[in-house]
Structure 1
Amino acid sequence: MNSAHDRDVRSSTSSETHNPDLEKGEARTEKEDEATIAEKKLTLSQEPQDDIGAELEKHLSRKSTKKDQLPPEKYPLSDLDNNLVGWDSQDDPVNPRNFPDSKKWTLLGFVAAITFLSPLASSIFAPAVVFVNEAFHNESQLLGSFAVSVYILGFAFGPLVLSPLSEIYGRVIVLNCSNIFFCAFTLGCALAPNLGGLIALRFLAGVGGSACLTIGTAVIADMFVPAQRGKAVALYSVGILFGPILGPICGGFIAQRAGWRWDFWVVFIVGCLLTGGLIVFNKETYQPVLLKRKTERLRKELNRPELQNIMTYDKDASSTSGASILKQGIIRPVKMLTKSPIVLFCSLYMSFLFGLLYLLFTTITPVFIRTYGWSPEITGLAYLGIGIGNFMGIAFVAKTSDATIIRLAKKNKGVYEPEMRLPLCVFFGLLIPVSFFWYGWTAYYKVHWIVPIISLVPFGFGVMGIFAPLQTYMIDCFPQYAASAMAGMTAMRCLFGAMLPLAGPSMYATMGLGWGNSMLGFVAIAFIPVPALLFRYGKHIRERYPIKV
């Protein structure tokens, strides 16, 4: 056998698994002879690999063992000898886990940028609704609100298909095609001939813009070990939460000065630039797809059609077909929502907060126009309270998240548990009802305009402090199903984001700003114990209700 090819296909394996960032200095004391090494290598090579999360935890996030230090001639068997194709070694540079930090953060930066633009597109249109109603002679406030929130409805449906497609064809092609789809229908919105057409085109643009919401978290799981994910998710989450804040600030000025259609033209131009950048610089990060391509290449080069991808070895061929993966990918998020209490409660909490966020997006403009007599372009500045809170929250999470889990893991004898992400969520949860009580009654009594704006700062801070840790918690709990877990969570939260704002106008008309917002604050109080309960019982729940999909 050609030695170059042997090196190309030999996978690094180890009989112990641990996280190097959390278990530094741990050394093995058990001595193994060469026969035992060979037997363990063969056994590990034949273990089924369900997904990238399980593979990386078992093969990649660990230090070298004595077997890894043996010279090549001491290996009695290799994965190639067993007709299996894996990574060259645990330091294989093709493995996304081994990308240089500069490359990892560049890739994540591009994904975070499009993830910033897509949610921004959801709200940039909000201050322009008054101009659209005038242009299309619409007198229904419900239809005007729906023209804004229908975009989020596209977010709810897109991930259910796009997430499994990324597991068939890879992250890059699905993300690039979705971004092109997003740009095309954003162009359609700019040219919409009537309100009905605008609503339909907004929905389709939302479907295209939804890919980054789930594929982005999957890319984080592909490239980063658990101890690095807190900072990565914090950067990624900036776009999801701050994009919708910046949208109305820009949209109000653009709509009044250049016309409402220019809100969409701006998004279209920036979207084309970011999509072009991703097409040029983005790299595939999904390990099963990378190893599949490597396997196909080696089959041709070595004339060995029997070679198999180590991540799909011992699996039923029908279960790895494209149609089967797509079917499972659509069904799996629903199963995870219904069968895993962790996924369900985290999704409900995040969905409620997301619904509150978009309720504010669709109601702040009319509140400040009617209560304080502001013009549409100036009302965008009322969203600064949420934006400032978001920045404060993301800075706090980025600073403390990974450091906290490392500290708690050391106290837990070096054993990391995903629940270590959650303790501070209780504090952040307290800020949500405080903000709504404060905002509702100050706006009701027409206190100086700066006070209701300041009252939204705790909301922005609290939402970010809950949103980022819960997303990271879901990735850590279900690394092999990270994309599916996030698809289910995204679908539910976007349904809330699309539907809850539709109830806003009638709720405020019936209950007023004071009691209407107070009712939402009371519901937020009911959710505060969720992170505390998951911190206390999450491990038990995961063990009692394992994901079998």
Structure 2
Amino acid sequence: MSALLRETEFGRWTTRLGFKLFPYAEDHPDFVPPARVPLDKACKKLQEDTTPTVVTDIERQAEAPELEGATAVPSQATSIRQDVNIVGWYGDDDPDNPRNWSTFKKVVVLVQIGLFCFGVYGGSAIVVASFDGLIEEFGVGHQETTLTVSLFVFAYGLGALLFSPLSEIPYFGRNPWYVYVMMVFTALQVGAALTPTFAGLVVIRFLTGLLGSPILSTGGASVADLFTAEELPLKLSFYCAPAFVAPAITPVISAYAVQAKGWRWSMWEFLWIVGAIAVMIFFFLPETAKEIFLEAIVKPFEISLLDPSIAFAHVYIGLVYAIFYTFFDVFPIVYSGIYNLSFGAQGLMYLCIAAGCFVGLASYVIYYLTYLFPKIKRGFAPSPEKRLEPSILAAVLAPAGLFIFAWSARAEAHWIGSAFGAGLFVAANYVTFQCLFLYIIIAYDKYAASLLAANDFLRSFVAAAIIHGGVPLFTNLGVGGGVSLLAALLAALGISGILVLHHFGAHLRAKSKFTVKQIA
């Protein structure tokens, strides 16, 4: 337990206050450090490299095999680069290295990241059940009420551009931005529940989204801190799944309370959820970012504009996310206007989205454990493009699910058909998200946090914009025509783009100055 708590914010505060309740090995009087060896050969590589890089243990050992198991110390070779500090572990088995943490400790971190993401993503949609109450109390229209969702979504994308680079500064790490920003995030929910004006609610929702962004922009990087490329695919699901599951479940959580107690109860329920998460991460979430980053923070938009692979990933994921958020416009039209379901039953229909996500997760796990992972164990080293293979089928199934939803949402057809189509769309896009996020993290390892932040901003920006266009689209073209238009756009971009990236991605990466040159 000491190994878990000492790197949490709770553990750090006990140390700052003079109580060494959770000491490191170095704090014990009988500690004997391993033998130290100068890293002249590793530093020689830095002399020849004019591009700032992260020097990892693997790279140092490749340059100087005799250094394996040694601790880095400064030498005269570092004098030519005054901005470089070479820091290493006490060998490959150093227990303080996040990748050597116990299974229990890693599971604790993964569960917390998943719950943390769930809380923030869920906050975007928990207010959907309150729309009628907002209209009644404040006298606003439907377009105005959707600001409580769109500004939240836009703000957590905007905040990613701020908090992601800050989380890469070694002095801070990731945890302070997670924990202390989350505390303010939680406190704001009291204001949201008590605000006497609609304008006040909208401002608070924007600030809440802004402060919820750290975990969404760098949660994937925190997961990547813990695992190798072979272990990462399954573990990354704790970061990807909440993007679909949380917005589907929180309207269900709030619907019956809002119906019985009024719209403000959606905010009180959200306070209880995120309050519990804030307490949990303060006491039990350890810092995972251990490396000293020797490179300048890369502007995420520079890579997004100059690298076609990343540009496609951002645009496609942005379109998928935007279509996903139109469900909060079209579901009431379909299940209230066409099927005449009760208010509570309408909320339950969002569970088909959660079910689709779990189907997508299960499909990916089965693919990885039965096909790809056994090949890796036999020595096969999959390229980033090889990891995109499941997304080829997913790119076909996603628009198919939308077409099914579009033309089965009719009074003469059972509601299960449209629910199946929505679930298929989400299942397919979960697989696509998983594959593309993994592609970014593995192929663009050094810039993964910046790129995930850029992706978070762009998809949030597009989703926030299309939220306001959903009702006019479905009103003018009908559910069948409007959803079919979105399905056609998704098919045209997704099928061709994924195929091009799968077949020619290696060629594009070879020309990029941002990618990892060798993939293990």
- Same fold? TM cut 0.5: yes
Question: How far, CA to CA, are the matches of 2:92 and 2:52 in structure 1?
Answer: 19
Question: Which of 176, 201, 223 is residue 204 of structure 2 equivalent to?
Answer: 201
Question: How far, CA to CA, are the matches of 1:409 and 1:98 in structure 2?
Answer: 20
Question: Which of 237, 242, 251 is residue 240 of structure 2 equivalent to?
Answer: 237
Q: Does 1:178 align with 2:177?
A: no
8 Å CA contact 2:406–2:481 kept in 1: the answer is yes
Partner residue in 1 for 2:94: 92
Partner residue in 2 for 1:55: 56
Q: CA deviation at 1:432?
A: 1.5
8 Å CA contact 2:113–2:238 kept in 1: the answer is no
Q: CA deviation at 1:219?
A: 0.6
Structure 1 residues 493 and 88: CA distance shift in structure 2, 3 A:
same
Partner residue in 2 for 1:485: 451
Question: How far, CA to CA, are the matches of 2:156 and 2:319 in structure 1?
Answer: 16
Partner residue in 1 for 2:145: 144
Question: How far, CA to CA, are the matches of 2:149 and 2:304 in structure 1?
Answer: 27
Question: How far, CA to CA, are the matches of 2:35 and 2:217 in structure 1?
Answer: 31
Q: Which amino acid aligns with 1:214?
A: S
Output one character per residue of 1:173-193: Cα deviation in whole Å (capped at 9) or x when no partner: 111122112212222211122
Structure 1 residues 404 and 546: CA distance shift in structure 2, 3 A:
farther
Structure 1 residues 280 and 9: CA distance shift in structure 2, 3 A:
farther
Deviates more, 1:366-375 or 1:256-265: 366-375
Partner residue in 1 for 2:347: 380
Q: CA deviation at 1:57?
A: 5.5
Instruction: Provide the secondary structure at the position in 1 that maps to 2:231.
Output: helix
Question: How far, CA to CA, are the matches of 2:35 and 2:470 in structure 1?
Answer: 59
**1:122-133 pair list within 5 angstroms:** 122-133=124-135
Q: CA deviation at 1:444?
A: 4.2
Partner residue in 2 for 1:346: 313
Partner residue in 2 for 1:453: 419
Question: How far, CA to CA, are the matches of 1:288 and 1:389 in structure 2?
Answer: 37
Partner residue in 1 for 2:251: 248
Structure 1 residues 426 and 67: CA distance shift in structure 2, 3 A:
same
Partner residue in 1 for 2:400: 434
TM-score w.r.t. length of structure 1: 0.80
Q: Which amino acid aligns with 2:288?
A: T
Structure 1 residues 283 and 523: CA distance shift in structure 2, 3 A:
same
Partner residue in 2 for 1:539: 506
Partner residue in 2 for 1:165: 166
Taking only the aligned residue pairs, the percentage that are identical comes to: 25
Q: Which amino acid aligns with 1:243?
A: A
Question: How far, CA to CA, are the matches of 1:452 and 1:495 in structure 2?
Answer: 27
Structure 1 gaps, min length 5: 12-36, 290-310, 320-327
Question: Which of 324, 337, 347 is residue 370 of structure 1 equivalent to?
Answer: 337
8 Å CA contact 2:72–2:87 kept in 1: the answer is no
Q: Does 1:218 align with 2:185?
A: no
8 Å CA contact 2:330–2:479 kept in 1: the answer is no
Pairwise CA RMSD:
3.0
Q: Does 1:467 align with 2:468?
A: no
Question: How far, CA to CA, are the matches of 2:93 and 2:173 in structure 1?
Answer: 22
Question: How far, CA to CA, are the matches of 2:48 and 2:341 in structure 1?
Answer: 64
Q: CA deviation at 1:398?
A: 2.6
Structure 1 residues 398 and 192: CA distance shift in structure 2, 3 A:
farther
Q: CA deviation at 1:47?
A: 8.1
Instruction: Provide the secondary structure at the position in 1 that maps to 2:123.
Output: helix
Structure 2 gaps, min length 5: 1-25, 79-85, 516-520
Question: How far, CA to CA, are the matches of 1:468 and 1:231 in structure 2?
Answer: 9
8 Å CA contact 2:404–2:418 kept in 1: the answer is yes
Structure 1 residues 241 and 78: CA distance shift in structure 2, 3 A:
closer
Question: How far, CA to CA, are the matches of 1:127 and 1:198 in structure 2?
Answer: 15
Question: How far, CA to CA, are the matches of 2:186 and 2:48 in structure 1?
Answer: 43
Output one character per residue of 1:147-186: Cα deviation in whole Å (capped at 9) or x when no partner: 2222101111011000011112101111112211221222
Question: How far, CA to CA, are the matches of 1:259 and 1:286 in structure 2?
Answer: 43
Partner residue in 2 for 1:296: none
Structure 1 residues 418 and 375: CA distance shift in structure 2, 3 A:
same
Q: CA deviation at 1:43?
A: 3.4
Question: How far, CA to CA, are the matches of 2:343 and 2:60 in structure 1?
Answer: 56
Question: How far, CA to CA, are the matches of 1:8 and 1:136 in structure 2?
Answer: 68
Question: How far, CA to CA, are the matches of 1:406 and 1:273 in structure 2?
Answer: 36
Q: CA deviation at 1:9?
A: 8.4
Deviates more, 1:199-208 or 1:435-444: 435-444
Instruction: Provide the secondary structure at the position in 2 that maps to 1:285.
Output: coil
Instruction: Provide the secondary structure at the position in 1 that maps to 2:92.
Output: coil
Question: Which of 512, 517, 524 is residue 483 of structure 2 equivalent to?
Answer: 517
Question: How far, CA to CA, are the matches of 1:56 and 1:363 in structure 2?
Answer: 52
8 Å CA contact 1:392–1:461 kept in 2: the answer is yes
Q: CA deviation at 1:345?
A: 0.4
Question: Which of 464, 485, 488 is residue 498 of structure 1 equivalent to?
Answer: 464
Partner residue in 1 for 2:4: none
Question: Which of 422, 442, 445 is residue 476 of structure 1 equivalent to?
Answer: 442
Output one character per residue of 1:468-508: Cα deviation in whole Å (capped at 9) or x when no partner: 11111111111111110100111011112211121111111
8 Å CA contact 2:192–2:267 kept in 1: the answer is yes
Question: How far, CA to CA, are the matches of 2:215 and 2:430 in structure 1?
Answer: 18
Output one character per residue of 1:484-538: Cα deviation in whole Å (capped at 9) or x when no partner: 0100111011112211121111111111111111111111111112222111111
Partner residue in 1 for 2:284: 281
Question: How far, CA to CA, are the matches of 1:123 and 1:6 in structure 2?
Answer: 54
8 Å CA contact 1:405–1:420 kept in 2: the answer is no
Partner residue in 2 for 1:79: 73
Aligned pairs, number:
476
Deviates more, 1:280-289 or 1:533-542: 280-289
Question: How far, CA to CA, are the matches of 1:380 and 1:10 in structure 2?
Answer: 62
